[in-house]
Each structure stands twice: as structure tokens, then as C-alpha cells.
Amino acid sequence: MNTPLIDAKNLVRRYEMRRGIFGKPVEVRALDGVSLHIAAGETLGLVGESGCGKSTTGRLVLGLERPDQGSVIFEGAPMPEPGSAEWRSMRARMQMVWQDPLGALDRRLTIGEQIMEPLAIHNLGTPAERPARRDALMQAVGLRPDQGSRYPHELSGGQRQRAVLARAIATDPRLLVCDEPISALDVSIQAQVMNLFVELQQKFGMAILFISHDLRAVRQVSQRVAVMYLGRIVEEGEPDAVLHDPAHPYSQALVSAIPAPGKGKKRIVLQGDPPNPADRPPGCPFHPRCAVAVAACRSEVPALKPRHDGRLVACHLAHGDAAPLMRAA
Ligand SMILES: Nc1ncnc2c1ncn2[C@@H]1O[C@H](COP(=O)(O)OP(=O)(O)OP(=O)(O)O)[C@@H](O)[C@H]1O
Ligand SMILES: [Mg+2]
């Protein structure tokens, strides 16, 4: 295999959280040994329910935060200290797109000015060349150059996210980390913005870490998908394979929750309490909600390892002849 663009190994990230003003701080283990790699030009989709550690993974991959354990290698070199000069210059090669485009844009500047901002920060091109680059970027994301004189509040939600994308690709980054980039958008424009991601990737060839709780959205853009549960990756494989034949009991529940019109598919209703990273169960993190768990699941953490077909699964039961099947309610 070629050297991956991003190679993250065994990332552990803990936060301290206080319950009330006088409460004792408790440790929240947001990530508990996440490893992932992304090749140049590849899109990895990261899915899982709220609080499982997706955004934390994104921040660590971008070097915005340091892991407590583990390492992130970008283009063959360890991630520099956040805020250092080395880190700032590296940031031109990795950009992010967050959920809320209005929050990501400066209300006092026109979107044209904001799209040119990273060019000035990273000293790319001469000031005279930048307006032409701005117009080309706006066209690449489906905005008209004359819309560059507008302020963020004068654009629709979809147009704002296009502007954010134009700014993110201005420095020709090799990696985009996109954290729920379509979930704040109107359903009618989500599909357009998803298509735009595919187009931009084909045109500019950057790698993308695409974070979403929506497995279907992820499938549309990704070559590989990783499913997270309580700070760990529990399954990783080709999106269609994971969607049609999920191997991990948690992925089965996630897939069964996707509405499939006319198929009469039954939804697996998970039993037990929602996961709490401040109170991790021993053994497999999913075992308290798993209908097929056996004794080993309560004591031994299953490693993420390849199944006979190459699919990576962290489940004691998924490596035998027949994968475990969660029953629909
Ligand atoms: N700065 C922080 N301080 C304390 N706890 C944090 C902090 N950041 C994240 N956490 C906790 O770490 C866990 C993982 O959070 P994270 O934001 O990565 O989840 P997520 O998968 O992105 O969720 P969502 O889908 O809701 O965005 C959560 O339990 C969260 O409360
Ligand atoms: Mg998040």
C-alpha cells in the first residue's frame, strides 16, 4: 500500500467533566483507541450516533487538539504542535467544513473577501491574481462571481455552504475534514450539496474525512465507511457492503433505522441505556445493548480485525462462519 495521507493510530482522548459546580470531575473517554487511515484522494465516511466521538476524531486528525495517547501522521510526518508556525503552514493543506455555514462565516465581510482570505494568509498568488482565483473558486462550487459582493446573511443556507466550500478549497488542500456538512441544510438542497462534494473531489482530487450520522449520505460520497460506537470503530468496509450486509450488531441496528419505503423492513430497537463515555462498560462497549452478546463480550474488548472477506469488524462473534444477527422488534 502507498503511504497514506493520514495515518492515525490508537487515538485516545479524555476530557474532564464536572457534574454541577461542586461536583467531582469525572473522566469522559471520548476516544478509546481509534485507528484510521485515508489515502490521497480517498473519502472515508465516519458514522455513528451522537456523542460517539466523530467530531473529536475530526479535531485530532486536523491537529486542532492533541491525543492523550496515539499519533497522527500527515503526509508521512507527525502532526506539529497546535498553533505553532509549522502547524499554521501545514493548515493550508488540510481544511475543514463544519455543520453551520453561518457560524463559519464572518458576518462583516462579503463572501468574496472571505474566499480570498486564505490566499492572503498563506501568501498564495499576488494580490492582483487573487480576484480571478476567487471567481474560479466560486464557479467551481456553483456560485456566480457577482454573488461575491454579498454578505453571508444575504445568501441561502445552501449558497452559504457553497461559499464555505469555496474558501476551504482555496488553498488546494490535500485533505478536507467535513463534520456534518449537510445536516443544517434544507432537505431539498442536501442532495445538491452532496453532488457538489463528489464533483469537487473528482476535479481537485483531495481526500475527505466525511463525518455524518447519516449512513446513506456517507455512502454517496465515500469509498470506505467506518462505524463508531462509544469512542471506538466497530466496523469498517465498503459503503455498499456495510449498508446491505452489516456485520457488527450495532451497524445492523444503525442500518435497520434507515427508512426503506415499501420494503416493510423491521427496525431493530436497541435495549438498555444510551452509551455514556463517562461510564464505559467493561468488555465490548456495545454489549449492554447487544441482543446476541455472550460471556466473552462482557469481559474482553474485541479488537478491530479483518473478517474472511476483508471487512474489519470488532466483534467476538462476527469472525465465525455465521455472523451474529440482531433481531428486529
Ligand atoms: N471539550 C469537551 N469537554 C468535555 N467533553 C467533551 C468535549 N468534547 C467532546 N466531549 C465529549 O466527548 C464525547 C464525544 O463527543 P463528540 O463531539 O466527538 O461526539 P460526536 O460523535 O461528534 O457527536 P454529535 O453527533 O452529537 O456531533 C461526548 O460524550 C462529548 O460530550
Ligand atoms: Mg459532532
pTM over 0.75: yes
Q: Phi then psi for 269, rounded to 5 degrees?
A: -95, 120
- Contact criterion met (CB below 8 Å) for 191 and 219: no
- Rounded average pLDDT over 240-257: 93
| 229, β-bridge pairs | 232
Identify the pLDDT of residue 151.
97
Compute, in angstroms, the gap from residue 124 CA to the centroid of ligand 2: 31
Query: Does residue 173 carry a pLDDT above 60?
Result: yes
Residue 323 — pLDDT band, cuts 50, 70, 90?
low
Is the shortest distance between the CB of 87 and ligand 1 below 6 Å? no
Side chain identity, residue 318: A
Closest CA to 248 of 198, 319, 194, 309: 319
Q: Is the CB of 28 under 6 A from ligand 1?
A: yes
Q: Which one, of 86, 53, 97, lies nearest residue 231 by Cα?
A: 53
Q: Is the CB of 278 under 6 A from ligand 1?
A: no
**What would the pLDDT profile of 27-60 be if each residue is shown by its tens digit?**
999 999 999 999 999 999 999 999 999 999 999 9
Give yes or no for residue 54 CB within 6 A of ligand 1.
yes
Q: Which amino acid would we find at residue 224? A: R
